[in-house]
Amino acid sequence: MGTIDQTADGDRYVSLHNSPEFRALRRQSHTFTAWAGVVFYGWWFLVILLAAFAPGFYRQGLVGPINVGLLFVFVSFNLVVVVSSAYMRFARTRLDPLGDRVRANLEGDLR
């Protein structure tokens, strides 16, 4: 069994946590998550408030058997797909390159 210097390994992670690259990665991730949360929960609260205080609004017919309530359900499902797709694109283009740099600094370009 080999010996591993736990303090040196811990210091490496502490220095990584304080590095500007890791802070930039966290900041970008948190910024996107905050905006996506505002959009999604804003829509969700709008739907709930309309259902609670204006239930007749959902019963208004649009085309044939389709009413406003069904339209809101359809838009809600699509919003989940749009937010998920936007996050996947954002992660691929902005977060992954930063994460690769952070990993390379941590592992010493072992990959």
Cα–Cα distance, 7 to 15 (Å, whole number): 12
Residue-range domain boundaries for the chain = 14-107
* pLDDT value at residue 67: 93
Q: Are 22 and 16 in contact (CB under 8 A)?
A: yes
The whole-model pTM stands at 0.74
Note down pLDDT in tens along the chain; length 111 residues: 444 555 556 688 888 888 899 999 999 999 999 999 999 999 999 999 999 999 899 999 999 999 999 999 999 999 999 999 999 999 999 999 999 998 888 887 555
